[in-house]
Structure 1
Amino acid sequence: MTAADDTVEYSPNGRRRAGRSGGGVFGILAWGVALSCVLPMLAVALAAAFGGTDTIRHLAATVLPGYTLTTLLLVALVAIGTLAVGTGAAWLVTMTRFPGVRFLEIALVLPLAFPAYVLAYAYTHVLDHPGIVQATLREVTGWGPRDYWFPEVRSTGGAALMLVLVLYPYVYLLARAAFLQQSAGAFLAARALGKSAWAAFWRVSLPMARPAIASGVLLAVMETIADFGTVSYFGVQTFATGIYTSWFSLADRGGAAQLALCLLSFALTLAVIERATRGRARYHHAGKHHNPMPPARIGKAKAALAMFLCSVPVVLGFVLPVIILALMSLESEQNLLSRRYIAFTTNSVTLAAAAAVLTVAAAVCLGFYQRLRPGRGSALAAYLARLGYAVPGGVIAVGLIVPFAAFDNALDAWMRETFGIRTGLLVTGSIWLLVAAYGVRFMAAALGAYEGGQASMHANVDAAARSLGQGPLGMLRRVHLPLLTPSLLTALLIVFVDVMKELPATLIMRPFNFDTLAVQAHRLAADERLEGAAVPSLVIMAVGLLPVILICRQVGRRG
């Protein structure tokens, strides 16, 4: 028996058991990462508990009911919109054949490249009162400003529309995958029993895909409650804007923490629902063999309608915003090659690169620890680390600033009293605390990409490495990382792009005079300089296309 036999064991069903040695260092690192991801939530809860009741009473009597109703209304509108658009488009491109379907099934993913606040800037420029649409309407009809009614884009409904246009791909991707996995047996049996195609879809195909669709809708909802840029620009008062207003405008840290706790409770409730829904997802194919659903040929009128319905979200969510932003940028006085914009771009790339590398490294520690020591402990560490994806960036910012500001103040007081030296804010005003916030927020994305690649590696790979004398670190460095290079690159790219688009945590935590492209776009838009905001917005969108291209390639392979 070799040394490897002492550390690698297998159960009768071929699954790997925990060995008696190895994994200790990775266990410490994994639990350190997991506890770091939970720290902001605990800090928010403690800051809210010690903030006194006067603030929360004042909030409850003034703005809290409004924040709650507006947030719930926005969530409901986005949930309904993404459900209808994402599921309907997924069914049409998967189950029917019409002109352009191969192009549209890929193009429907493209709006995912846009942050919702960028769409808000583009459509406000066109649809607001001075915009080209209303100006042309007044010129053609001769109406005055009070002679007609036009939908207000800066409203809760307008914010919901922007969010639906960029978030429906979550539902579309999951629903399309679920429809592709369904067997034709159940659907054809319903048709044989006299049900129409619509009735068979409603009573058979849709219920079978419900867990995947529900997961997509819940992901869209969690992104909605985390959004700050869109609702802030449109003047919609939600919990996200309330946290920022309490923190900066009112200088009320206790009120911000208590609002953050309310939003955190809502987000974690949604995370639990999403986890339970995904955990119950099961797909059972009728019959001995899985027979994919054959796409149906439809008549010319229905084909034209299907092509129109699938084209609308692509045009509104990607084509028009790109055209509008490009035209706006031509009218702006912003120069991407100027010293200021080079600084904005450098800051954005520096933050995104540092956050991507550190987040993926932490995800590797968590994923590899699960590989070495499969069980409840490692699964719990990974679950805790994933909680950050359900927590808005503003909540994470508050949760990190509160404890580290207290640490900096205590250290400064001790150093002054002991050595007569002022240390100032060593941690709170640093880039690295902001990078840590990004890590907490996007750990789930990096861990999911890494685990996806790791799942394809058979346990015999580990056994072979151990039999050749490799310890855990050598096995990771010489075997796992080379084999998982595509998954690691995907994880790095996803986190990089997410950080480039992130706004609320950056606004709250960035060091003094350290602005990014997202912050510059927000500042210019807040000053109503929308043409100027188009330039950094286009750069953010262009970077956001990178992971979308990867997703489109996967969609094309499965299509």
Structure 2
Amino acid sequence: MFPSQAPARSAKRPGSAWLAIAATIALIAILPIGGLLFEASKGSAGLWGHLFSTVLPVALVDTVILLAGVGVITAVVGTTTAWLVTAYDFPGRRALEWMLLLPLAVPTYIVAYAYLDILHPIGPVQDAVRWLLGYESPRQFRLPDVRSMAGCILLLGIVLYPYVYIPTRAMFLTQSGNLVDAARTLGTSRRAVFWQIALPLARPAVAVGISLALMETLNDIGAAEFLGVRTITVSIYTTWITRSDLSGAAQIALALLLIVVAIVAVERWARRKQRYSIDVRRMRRFQPRRVSLGKGILLFLGGLLPVILGFAAPALYLLIEAAKRYRFAGISPRIIDEAVNTLVIATLATTATVILGLLAAYATRLRPGQPSSWLLRCSTMGYAAPGTVVAIGVLTVLAGFDQFIDRAALSLFGVSTGLLLMGSGAAVIYALIVRFLAISAGGIEAGLSRISLSLDHASRSLGQSTAGTLRYVHLPLSKAAISAAALLVFVDCVKELPATLLLRPLNVETFATHLYGEAARGTYEEASIAALAIVLIGILPAILLSRIGRIR
């Protein structure tokens, strides 16, 4: 119970102050976009001609091909595996349901890092193939180089398919079994049920999953660079870091942002006329069909294949390499320092992101309608923007603040503050907040929506303020949603590479940046412990999603 207070004296509509808070959070989230536009405007007019003639054609073509390939693989693998564990009952199905989530634990750059060694011409796979075929040298026989567009598409596809698998499986599970029974009585085969009923009804979920996978593909910088694919994201990084042209990088980032907007627009256009409803009073849950033991084993092995390729193989490689490294040199102090840096940055960013997400979601609950809805959308725009885009905007905004503070301190106290924000790690934390505020606000908003409004009315009738209602009613009842959002944000902060790589202070390394540096130098084994630590942390949301997504 919450303590009662004197009745509120003001007849003012509740939530006005919270709407101002939501507006402030939205401003914080969209400031980097304004900073990006400002930085891009500083570039010379002739720069676009150079970009169009040299950088953008190759980068744009590679990006479009990569997006198309990853979209096809994630759609096919995600939809097929979702139907497999929903429509058929076979030995190991329940285990396979959550095992198919495990590739989410492995960031794309770690998969590329691992397979570069696994599929190396003198690596274990090609050595075994040559031994089986009777060859002795890589000059006699070697597999196609994984450093290619095809290799990049395949590796990204087998890691990102869970973005399609999760919503599509949820859609299959909630489809009425009555529709399937009616189709079967008319002589429709199980395969035809999938193509004619289940898949058309699940198209919105498939479209959402593909769009999320494509946004993750655009955010990737490590895998594409390691595998020799020059995407627009890689071009932004090289233009900024290698050529020291921040304005040029900002202009390329604008082109990337337009691609993100196009993906979102196409996804919404594709399902603009799709409206489905089911009578829940007469709905019977979709029941999987029991298959024979032999067919069940084949189905299980088929469903296990993407798990092996997307999680088991790279995780086993990292485990072996980490064990070798530990036996050879133990745990170096450098790894310990990187662990501390990673945990501190991720914890601070998660705390701030969850608090801001809670305030934004609560403001939407107090003042439902168009203003709060638009403010919440503005607050969550950063999740659609790749990390490199956010990083340029954050750098521009915070560098401006640093200059303002430094000039003020010089004029008032005669002391220079230097890079107060950029040099303290605040830029990294700010970028992570902007990137992952959507996860926090979305998850917490979903949790708050399950709390009856009658509890708000009861609290207010006893004299509690809106802040008191949040403290004594909503926080206790939405602890699970807040905790889940915090876990997802924390793991994403640990895995984030582009923003951390571009904005971290000098001489500050995290697991992700250390791994990128070692992979860039070709010393993969040196980063195996850091990579394994990221994968182990990444397993946590897979476990959470497997528990939340289990519908019985």
Q: Same fold (TM over 0.5)?
A: yes
The 3-state SS of whatever aligns with 1:62 is: helix
Contact 1:212 1:281 in 2 (8 A): no
In the alignment, is residue 389 of structure 1 matched against residue 383 of structure 2? yes
Q: Select the residue among 512, 528, 535 that pairs with 1:534.
A: 528
Match of 1:51 in 2: 43
Match of 2:108 in 1: 116
Q: Select the residue among 483, 487, 492 that pairs with 1:489.
A: 483
Measured after TM superposition, the shift of residue 417 of structure 1 is 6.6
Change (3 A) 1:422 1:434: same
Q: Deviations over 1:59-118 (max 9, x none)?
A: 110121111011111111111111111110110110111121111111111111111111
Q: Distance in 1 between matches of 2:448 and 2:411?
A: 52
Amino acid at match of 1:135: D
Contact 1:215 1:277 in 2 (8 A): no
Q: Distance in 1 between matches of 2:245 and 2:544?
A: 43
Change (3 A) 1:280 1:519: farther
Match of 2:24 in 1: 32
In the alignment, is residue 345 of structure 1 matched against residue 332 of structure 2? no
Q: Distance in 2 between matches of 1:375 and 1:47?
A: 34
Structure 2 segments unaligned to the other structure (5+ residues): none
Match of 1:222 in 2: 215
Contact 1:268 1:391 in 2 (8 A): no
Q: Distance in 1 between matches of 2:308 and 2:128?
A: 21
Contact 2:87 2:289 in 1 (8 A): yes
Q: Distance in 2 between matches of 1:533 and 1:235?
A: 20
Q: Select the residue among 144, 149, 155 that pairs with 1:151.
A: 144
Q: Select the residue among 192, 204, 222 that pairs with 1:199.
A: 192
Contact 2:387 2:498 in 1 (8 A): yes
Amino acid at match of 2:299: A
Match of 2:509 in 1: 515
Contact 2:152 2:227 in 1 (8 A): yes
Measured after TM superposition, the shift of residue 483 of structure 1 is 1.4
Contact 2:220 2:233 in 1 (8 A): yes
Higher alpha-carbon deviation: 225-234 or 282-291: 282-291
In the TM superposition, what are the counterparts of 1:358-397 in structure 2 within 5 Å? 358-397=352-391
The 3-state SS of whatever aligns with 2:549 is: helix
Higher alpha-carbon deviation: 271-280 or 209-218: 271-280
Q: Distance in 2 between matches of 1:513 and 1:56?
A: 34
Amino acid at match of 1:327: I
Q: Distance in 1 between matches of 2:188 and 2:130?
A: 51
Higher alpha-carbon deviation: 141-150 or 222-231: 141-150
Structure 1 segments unaligned to the other structure (5+ residues): 8-18
Q: Distance in 2 between matches of 1:268 and 1:336?
A: 47
Q: Distance in 2 between matches of 1:285 and 1:6?
A: 46
Amino acid at match of 2:28: S
What is the number of equivalent residue pairs in this alignment?
Answer: 546
Contact 2:98 2:543 in 1 (8 A): no
Q: Distance in 1 between matches of 2:9 and 2:207?
A: 45
In the alignment, is residue 104 of structure 1 matched against residue 104 of structure 2? no
In the alignment, is residue 185 of structure 1 matched against residue 178 of structure 2? yes
Change (3 A) 1:444 1:277: farther
Q: Deviations over 1:126-168 (max 9, x none)?
A: 1011211223334552354333341211222222222222211
In the TM superposition, what are the counterparts of 1:131-530 in structure 2 within 5 Å? 131-139=123-131, 141-274=134-267, 282-285=275-278, 289-332=282-325, 337-409=331-403, 411-412=405-406, 416=410, 420-530=414-524
TM-score, with structure 1 as normaliser = 0.93
Measured after TM superposition, the shift of residue 308 of structure 1 is 1.8
Measured after TM superposition, the shift of residue 411 of structure 1 is 4.8
Measured after TM superposition, the shift of residue 124 of structure 1 is 1.4
Change (3 A) 1:455 1:224: same
Change (3 A) 1:25 1:461: same
Q: Deviations over 1:397-453 (max 9, x none)?
A: 001112332343455456557765433222223312211110000011111110121
Q: Distance in 2 between matches of 1:508 and 1:350?
A: 18
Q: Distance in 2 between matches of 1:4 and 1:173?
A: 47
The 3-state SS of whatever aligns with 1:453 is: helix
Measured after TM superposition, the shift of residue 50 of structure 1 is 3.0
Amino acid at match of 1:359: T
Q: Distance in 2 between matches of 1:370 and 1:332?
A: 51
Contact 1:37 1:440 in 2 (8 A): yes
Q: Distance in 1 between matches of 2:531 and 2:149?
A: 22
Contact 1:503 1:518 in 2 (8 A): yes
Change (3 A) 1:478 1:127: same
In the alignment, is residue 69 of structure 1 matched against residue 61 of structure 2? yes
The 3-state SS of whatever aligns with 1:63 is: helix
Q: Deviations over 1:258-302 (max 9, x none)?
A: 111011111122234445667766432269600122211234453
Q: Distance in 1 between matches of 2:539 and 2:257?
A: 30
Amino acid at match of 1:424: G
Contact 1:113 1:544 in 2 (8 A): yes
Measured after TM superposition, the shift of residue 462 of structure 1 is 0.3
In the alignment, is residue 543 of structure 1 matched against residue 537 of structure 2? yes
Q: Distance in 1 between matches of 2:331 and 2:487?
A: 24
Contact 1:212 1:278 in 2 (8 A): no
Measured after TM superposition, the shift of residue 350 of structure 1 is 0.4
Measured after TM superposition, the shift of residue 34 of structure 1 is 0.7
Contact 1:185 1:286 in 2 (8 A): no
- Aligned residues: percent identity? 39
Contact 2:7 2:461 in 1 (8 A): yes
Amino acid at match of 2:219: A
Amino acid at match of 2:383: Y
Contact 1:40 1:400 in 2 (8 A): yes
Q: Distance in 1 between matches of 2:357 and 2:271?
A: 21
Change (3 A) 1:429 1:275: farther
Higher alpha-carbon deviation: 96-105 or 130-139: 130-139
TM-score, with structure 2 as normaliser = 0.94
Match of 1:79 in 2: 71
